Structure formats: C-alpha cells, structure tokens
Structure 1
Amino acid sequence: MDNGTMLQGFSWYLPADGAHWRRLAKSAQRLADEGVTAVWLPPAYKGQAGGFDVGYGVYDTYDLGEFDQKGTVATKYGTKDEYLACIRALQAAGVQALGDVVLNQRMGADATEDVVAREVAANDRNRVVAGPHKIRAWTRFCFPGRRGRYSAFTWDWRCFHGVDWDDATRRGGIYLFDGKSRDNEVDHDDNGNYDYLMGCDVDLSYPPVYDELVRWGKWYLDTTGLDGFRFDALKHMGREFYQRWLPEMRDYAGRELFSVGEYWTPRVDELVSYINDMPTMSLFDVPLHYHFYSASCSNGDFDLSKLFDRTLSTWNPVRAVTFVENHDTQPGQALQSLVLPWFKPSAYACILLREAGYPCVFYGDLYGMPNDGNIPAVVELPLLMEIRRRFAYGRQRDWLDDADTIGWTREGERGREGSGVAVVLTDRAGGAKRMLVGEGHAGELWHCVIGEEKDVRIGSDGWAEFDCGGGRLSVYLSDAAAGVLEHDWVNAIHTPDADPYTDDDPVRAETEEAVREHPELEGEVRRLAREGLDGEGVAG
C-alpha cells in the first residue's frame, strides 16, 4: 500500500482575492505528483465577514459562493462553481477532497430577538453571575439573499444555547438562554464546561436543528461529491451529535467518507477517550504538535527520547493524523504555537518518514505564509514528501534512547526499488547513531540527501553509523535511490516558480516558455530566474 499524505490546502492569511479555488484546481496534478492523496479544503460556505471570512464565522452553510449575501457573492476563496470545479480537478488527479465542516457556531444574524438569559462566568461556565433577565440577542437567521432556495429553515433563539453579546446594553458576556443547558460530553478541563466557544452556540440536541443539519449534510454531499470531512471544534460539541450524524451521512453516501476531527487538547487521554466513543473518526495529534513546539523553543533542553511519548500516534497510530502546523497555530491566532524554523525539517521528518499516523502537511509550510513578514516555506519539505512517497517503506526500527540525538530506519520493501531510509536528528550538539537498516542492504553506499554528512557504507550485517550535525536533520538513502532522487530534484517536481501566489507573474511565464524551448538548460534557466533574470534573457 502506498504512503498517503494529506495537505491542509490553505492558511489563515491567504489573500482575500476570491482566487483560491482556482489556484488549488490548477495545482491538483502537481500535488498528486508530489504524493498528496487528500486535500483538506477550507470552509466553503458564506461567513459573517463575506469575502474576507476565513470560514469559521459561519453565516449560511447553503451559500457556497452563489448568493449576494454579506456584501459579496463569492466567498474569500471563490464562487460555488469554482469550488465544485476544484473538487473535480483534485479527484481527477486521484486526490481526495475533504470538506471543512463547522457546525458549532453561527454569526452575522439578520435580526435580533429579546430572550431571557442568565450570565455565566467566563472562566467557569457552571457558575451563574447574573440571574434570569431579558437580553437582546442577534439570533435570527433568515438568509434574505438566498430567499429559501435549498432550505426554507430559519434559525431563531431556540436553535442556540446562548450568545456572547447583549445588544440592548451593548455589553459582552456569556449568556445562557433560559430553559437551555450546556452539553455535558464536552471538555471540562477549561472553563468548567467548554461547550460555549463563540457566536451563537448551536443547540445540536434540539430536534429541529438536528433534522436540518441532516438535510444540509445530504444536500452538501449531493452538491459537492466530497470524499470526506474535517470537523471543527469537537471539544465544544456533545459527542452524541457526530455519533448519530456521521453514520447517517455514510449510509446516505454509500461510501466511507474519511473523517478527521479537531479536538484541541495536549492531553492524549482526552483524545483516546473521544476515539473510544467515536471509533470510525480520526483525530489530529495535538500532543505531538506541542512536543514539536516545545522542542523548537527549548534551546536544546527538550528530551528527544520522549518526543513521541503520550501522543496519539503512539497510542492509536491508525486513528492519528499527525501535523506540524495549521491555520490556528500561526502568529496572531488564539492557539499560536509556531514551531521555530530550525526544527521544522526535523518535525516534518517525524511525521512523513515514520510509519505511525496519517501526516498532514500545512499549506503555509509548503508555500510560505503571507503574514508577519512572509514566513518562508520549509525548503526541505517537498523533498521529504518525495522520500515518503517513494522510499519510506518497510519495517521501522527506533533508536529513541538519547535526550539530544535520536534516529530510526525503514528497511524498505521488495518491489519498491531503492526503498529504505535512515533518519537522525539532534537538538543540541552533533551526534551519531549506529542503526540497523537490514541485511538486504549489506554493502550498499548510502548518501545523506538532507544534511551535509559523509556517505555511509552499510556493513555485511546490515548495520552502519549515521552522523548528524548539531541542531540538524540528516536523512540517508541508498545509492540507487539517491541517484533517482537527485535527477527528479534537478528537474524540480516542486519549484519556487510553482508558488500559487505568483501564478500570474510574467517572469514565471517567460521562464516556463524558455524551459519548454530549451529543456536541456532547465536547471540553469530556473536558477537564473530565481536570481531575478527573466526566462527570455536566459534562453537567449
């Protein structure tokens, strides 16, 4: 079975140009060639901020960029037709399309209602700080721009547990509507009961709401043909909702609908508990992300031998989706925990070149993040993805026995020419690991394809010593694999000029024309283009 790799196909600070669906569609085949097997698409429906909404301020789930609402027809990412074309392009390239489903909150209501509510403490949602009194809440959603198309359902205060704003007093707070109670099967470690997150908190147990969300889910599947879902904010939602809703969607679709949920906690026991209650859903390995973050910020004081301890990929590798970064961990976001650049190649090696978990690569790390001075792409990432796709197979052996230097090997598989890999990483001084790659590799010469270490000759017993510089990553491949990899890398499966932010760059167009006319000079053409010369000048 081939190695799969998911891509989170967006970052928070993408330009609000309505062109992202077109960018992804254009990139579909290239992503497939790089080993991407699924793309997690951003929330596709209209948010309260219209064309500037990232998608988590949900207004109308039936508006996929089709109706003039919130000041725009298109969403931040484009129109409905472009969204559907993007899904079709990905699937035509053999890549699954996963839809981001956000059902916990609604924002941008069309009208207010007077509702009796109790105010609760922000840091303890079980403690009432003001008894029942009337507030004016933005809770009525009638979607005048859509005019009942696809669904005539209107939302009112009965569809929600509460809100965070009283428009009568112009005062913020957390208000629980009279007669409503919080869901119990949610996170209780933070704020007493963390059912409430933001906006109008959807009452998922209210029968009319549940029935409407089932109708919407079936419509969404029929309309888009998605292959699966990413679910937002699970720790704030009663578990019984997806225990019912997801099987209904799978039965209706007649296919698996791979699903991964975001349950944001550093506690692996919480993730294991959720998976035990939801055995057909995967979860993101948040504890592993925090280990990467801590290691990157520790100035070498993190114990690398414990890097994978108490992580979901260790406890349940089949249900773990591993990641280094996502949109919420970017600078300026509530969960900001950006892994420092020096450690990112090592972190990506940990999720891409090991057997446990389904790795999810972040769009911002693949292409760079257009925020905070344009955080650069992880240069080694496309190469790591190629190594995963082609060579990271077979039995894994670990040497996770030192606080500052760890390593592992993959033995490779018969029928996969050149497969097998050796990895060493450090967080302080340089080091080395004597590791077994298997007797089938006896006598082979292995090259350091990431890092600057000397070649290694595998002993007759299948063992060798692999070096790594201080605070670095070293990845070794066999001579046969490295030779093929070097050829592919020179020919640039993934190159800076493929950056989707610069698709309309005239220099890029001229460079591509020069490469087509003079393929024998491709490496030199691209090098000079990166240094600022245009393709025509190079070709001439």
Structure 2
Amino acid sequence: MAIGLLAWGRFETGSAAGTRVTVPAPPTHPWLADFLHAQATSLGRSFDFVQWPPWSKAEGGAAPTSDGYGVFDRRDLGTKPQQGSTPTRYGPLESTLAAIAALNAHGCQSIGDLVLHQMSGENGGPGVFRYLGADGKTLNGRGATTAGWFRGRTAQRKSGDGEWEWVDPVPPFRPQDDVPVPADDSPFGRELCYQNGVPTGAAEADAKDYVRWLYARTGAAMFRFDDTKGTYAPSVRRIMDAIPNVPFYSEYFDGNPANLDWWATSAPMSGRSAVADFTLHWRIQAACNGFDARQLTLGGAGYFERNPSLAVGFVDNPDTDTSDGQQVVCNKGLAYAYLLMLPLRLALVYGKDYFPNSIWPGAYGLKPAIDNLCWISRMFAFGNYQVRWVDRDVFAATRDGNGGATGWSGGLLTALNFNTLSSRTITCDTTFGANRWLHDYSGHHSDIWTDWQGRATFTLPSNAYARGESYVCFAPGGVNQPVTSTSRSTTQTFEADATLDVMPAMNGVHPLPQHIYCASGTRISINLSAVLAANESLTAKVNTSNNTTITWKRIGVYPGSASGRTRSAGWHTISVEGLSLPASGRNYKLTVTYTGSETQ
C-alpha cells in the first residue's frame, strides 16, 4: 500500500455560515506550493505521494474562497493575469514546478487533481469561455468554448410574462449526457457534455489535449479524476487513456461497495482507475463519532474487502470534513491507526488532520502520531488482513507480513479501544507464531510475548477525554531503521505555442517564463525539438543564478539533446535563442530532466 498526503484543506471562516477558505496564502503566509517545497524532506519520510488541489486557474483567481473546483482556464496554472490574479490560490507555476521536483527528489510523487466535470467564470456570454494566450494580452488561449459544450435545462426562472423558462435552454445548450447516476449529477457551474456536446467530440478532444499537456508540463505521477458519477463514463476512460501508462483514482461519491465495484470494474472502466473508498469512510465515521468499534465491520468494512487493488482509503477529505453529517469529528487517532493498517491501493491522510494549528490555523495537529503510524504501516502492514476481535469497545486485526521489500515484514497486530472510561485486556490470535517477542511501535504498551499458541495478551489504555490515542501496534521487536525512499529526477516540458503559456521562439535570446530549482551536483538534461527551415536554428541554454552555463544545445532541422551537472543548489534559468526565424516565431518543445531540492 502507498500512503499519500492530501495536502490542502478547507477551513470555516466563522464570518458566515458555509463560507470556507482554503489553506492560507499570501500576503501573510507562503503559497501552498512554496510551503510544500520547503517541507519536501519531511514529507518524504512519511509519504509516497502528495495529492495537490487543482492546479488550474479557477473563478476568483487567488481569492481565499477559490479552491480550484470552479475551473475557469484549464491551461492557466498560475501564469496569466486572469480572474483578478496571475497566481492561482496555491501559487505561481514556477513554485509548483519546483515543489514537484523537490518532492520527487525526496521520494514523494505528485498526484494532480483533474476537474473536468464543470467550469465557472464564463466571460463571453452564456457558455462562452475565452482565455488569454501566452503573451498574457491576446484572447487566443486554447480551449475556448461555446454553449454547445455544456449541459442545459439545469435551472429555471420566471419570464417577464410570469411563465417559467429555462435559464439555459436547449439549444444552444445540450441535453444531459448518459452519466452513471443522472439523479446525482449536480452541475456545479457549467457542466460539460462529452457525449451530447456540439461540435461532436470537441469537449472530449480538448480534455484529452489538456491532460496530455498537463502531464508533460508538471511531471505528475498520478491523477485524481473529480466527479465521475456525473461524467459520461466512455469519455472518462478515453480521457484517461490519453496518457495510457499513468495511474488514476476517481471520485465516485457512493457508499455502496457494489456500486463502486460496478463503476470501477465493468466496461468501459474495466479496472483503469481506482476509486475513493467512501464505504470505508462511512464505517470509520460511524465508529469514531459513535464510539462503537462494531461499526468498522457492520454490513461490510469497505470496498477494499472486495478489491483492495482499486480501493483508495481516507478518513476525511475537503468535501466530507466541511459537510455536516459527513465528517469524522472525534477519535481521529484511532481512525488513522485503523486506516494505515488496511490492505489498500492508496491511503490518504488529510492535510487538515496532519499539520498543526501553528502552520495552518484551524488544523488538528496529528502529525507526530500520523508520522509514527506511517512508519509502522510502511514497515509492517503487508499481506493477508484478518479481523481478530470486535465488540462495542474494542477492535483488533492483523496483517501476516507477506510481501513488501523483504518478502516478509514480520506482520502487524493493531488494536483500538473506543471506551473513554475503561482500559481493556484481551487475548487474540495472531500470525506471529508461538513465543515471539512483540514491541508496540505506537509507544502505548510495554513489550509482550505470544504464548505457545501464538496468541497475544495485552491491555489497551482507555480512550481518555476521547483523544483517540488508545491504540497499539504490535510487530516483531528490534526494528528501528528508517523507511527507504527512492529519490527521483523530474521531467517537465515547456511547450512553446502562442495559445498555451510559453511564447514561440523569436530571434534573439529569450528566457523561459519559469526558472527551475535544482539540487547541487546533479545531472540536468535537455531535449529540444521544433519544425525549422534549413537556415533556421534554436539554441537552448541552462544557466546558474550567476549566469554560468551548465549545458546548452543548438538544433536545426533535427532535434537534439545535451546534459550537464549543476554546481550548487538553487534557481537555474533556461533560455532559448532563435536565429533566422520568421517574424511570427517558431513553436518548439523543450523537455528538461533534473533533480529538485528543498529550498536552502
């Protein structure tokens, strides 16, 4: 199982009911991207992935309530002066690219969040979106829409003669697609029609083009697909297949594991995407809020029981945490002790649960406990899962240890006590074998030994003050090494095109709009390609902050590559020089592979 940090959160402002802001951003705090960049080393010790909020510019730009789901311009990742700001709510693109590279270098890959169900902020009339291009001035940006891209008949109003009429009539808007559950399909703005939109196929073609571009631009390793319950499934599959080797998980907001399995495993999805395990979330919520361990298994524990390879587990996320009746309001330590011992494709820790109030005002500060539980999970939580004990107060389960880097981890026994008044002693079966020395790596219990039948006897502390600290995590004693992480280089592509976010090459030397932040003494490689006439050339060059050249490459008709080695950690500038180019310039692609670094 991989573990990820869902690295943002929504916070109630207290100023008005239902008014929520995302994590702090300037002028009083670092951008989220800069914050994650500075935390790369620490995050790499506990997490395999960081899930970002949506990278695209949303309606409201960098405003506190602009969380990214009211997408305005997909291809504005914090580079264009639109919607009142150049950065998104989470920072400028340069900061995002640097953070992704730094996280990769410390073993923590990035999950991008794709919002392809709806758009907001139309600026050319009903259903008409127009965007700035790479020059930040001209409305020639790629992805412009018409009303025919969007679903109609979503809202009504009274006309001047008192009759009801559609706000969004068909035509020019379009009938609802054949989405998986039409009754649950809320527009959330202008809802895209991939099946019924006109021109036929235009919305889907643009989505596929965007996903290919975003993957290359950022260097993300995985994506979340938002609101698949309200999106035409054949298009979802084809959009994912635009980047065929990249893994996905999807939000299919449904607590019935049979429904999750139907969507994930039947055609057209056929296992292409994992799914958020909402069944597991509801069981955790019921157990934690009701102080009732039986809820963890009542009517099925989660989709992971059916298909752990496609289940993405979570305790809370930005939607459930700020929705009445959906959030886990207490015992979150118990929730994470449980979550992080389960067999899942991916377990997600909510950033608002993880970081302290001193960093994100209003956050819950479970970082020390969760870091410890992440280490336990990554060290021991492998193999067959089996529930060993469950009653109203106590839950216990084991993993047999088969799997992992060594082939056998030794196994894990995790037990929880929800009773706020009483400690509890139990004896349960384990997979450790007879007369084995066990250590509680949570620090809540002294060492024990299994008996001649391989059973473990131990006393769970009371859940005093409902703090959620009354759990134990037993595994074979004597293990204290850190989890080994894999440092990765990052590949990001600058695609020069007037309709995107990098201007075409012109005669003379022109720096690219984003710097890259490199580790010291590491290799940096560039690959440059363009369609050039016989007398034309392009030269790409990478320089340090003091203008020392690290590597360069000149190309004519054929593409070319070059590499060099950085001399110190820090920002590096990439420039492209054109020679004998036409006045309109030339499009090109420059792919850069480098090793990032946490800010010095």
Bucket of the pairwise TM-score, normalised by the shorter protein: 0.7 to 0.9
Secondary structure class of the residue paired with 1:209 = helix
Tell me the residue number matched to 1:264: 253
Offset at residue 209 of structure 1 (A): 1.2
CA distance in 2, matches of 1:87, 1:418: 31
- Within 5 A, what are the aligned runs for 1:443-522? 443-444=436-437, 446-450=438-442, 452-471=444-463, 472-481=470-479, 484=480
Tell me the residue number matched to 1:535: none
Tell me the residue number matched to 1:185: 179
| Contact in 2 for aligned 1:452/1:474 (Cα 8 Å) | yes
CA distance in 2, matches of 1:70, 1:78: 14
Code of the aligned partner of 2:53? P
Pair 1:201 & 2:191 matched: yes
TM-score scaled by structure 2?
Answer: 0.67
- Within 5 A, what are the aligned runs for 1:15-414? 15-17=24-26, 19-34=31-46, 36-52=47-63, 53-112=66-125, 138-144=126-132, 146=136, 151-162=141-152, 175=167, 177-179=169-171, 180-188=174-182, 193-205=183-195, 206=197, 207-250=201-244, 256-277=245-266, 278=269, 279-300=271-292, 303-304=294-295, 306-307=297-298, 309=300, 311-331=302-322, 333=323, 337-341=326-330, 343-368=331-356, 374-378=362-366, 379-412=368-401
* Count of equivalent residues: 443
Closer, same or farther: CA 82–443 of 1 in aligned 2, 3 Å: closer
Closer, same or farther: CA 83–200 of 1 in aligned 2, 3 Å: same
Higher mean displacement: 141-150 or 460-469 = 141-150
Closer, same or farther: CA 258–307 of 1 in aligned 2, 3 Å: farther
Code of the aligned partner of 1:287? T
CA distance in 2, matches of 1:106, 1:236: 14
Secondary structure class of the residue paired with 1:111 = coil
Offset at residue 304 of structure 1 (A): 3.9
CA distance in 2, matches of 1:347, 1:412: 21
Closer, same or farther: CA 284–417 of 1 in aligned 2, 3 Å: closer
CA distance in 2, matches of 1:163, 1:51: 31
Tell me the residue number matched to 1:129: none
What is the aligned-residue RMSD (CA, Å)?
3.1
Identity of aligned residues (%): 23
Closer, same or farther: CA 210–238 of 1 in aligned 2, 3 Å: same
The match for 2:23 among 14, 19, 30 is 14
Closer, same or farther: CA 336–60 of 1 in aligned 2, 3 Å: farther
Code of the aligned partner of 1:407? A
Higher relative contact order (CA 8 A, sep 6+): 2
Secondary structure class of the residue paired with 2:212 = helix
Per-residue CA deviations over 1:340-383 (Å, capped at 9, x if unaligned) read 23x21221122211234421111111104689972422252111
List gaps (5 residues or longer) in structure 1.
113-137, 251-255, 490-540
| Contact in 1 for aligned 2:304/2:343 (Cα 8 Å) | no
Tell me the residue number matched to 2:424: 431
Code of the aligned partner of 1:78? G
| Contact in 1 for aligned 2:251/2:276 (Cα 8 Å) | yes
Per-residue CA deviations over 1:208-249 (Å, capped at 9, x if unaligned) read 111111222222122122212111111111111112211122
Offset at residue 62 of structure 1 (A): 0.8
Code of the aligned partner of 1:319? L
Closer, same or farther: CA 173–431 of 1 in aligned 2, 3 Å: farther
Code of the aligned partner of 1:354? L
Offset at residue 285 of structure 1 (A): 0.4
Tell me the residue number matched to 1:125: none
Code of the aligned partner of 1:198? F
| Contact in 2 for aligned 1:369/1:376 (Cα 8 Å) | yes
Closer, same or farther: CA 404–304 of 1 in aligned 2, 3 Å: farther
CA distance in 1, matches of 2:67, 2:347: 23
Code of the aligned partner of 2:24? P
Code of the aligned partner of 1:33? R
Code of the aligned partner of 2:184? Y
List gaps (5 residues or longer) in structure 2.
11-21, 464-469, 484-600
CA distance in 1, matches of 2:119, 2:170: 19
CA distance in 1, matches of 2:402, 2:143: 55
Offset at residue 443 of structure 1 (A): 4.0
Per-residue CA deviations over 1:329-349 (Å, capped at 9, x if unaligned) read 223x4x6622123x2122112
CA distance in 1, matches of 2:234, 2:301: 26
Structure having the higher helix fraction is 1
Higher mean displacement: 154-163 or 468-477 = 468-477
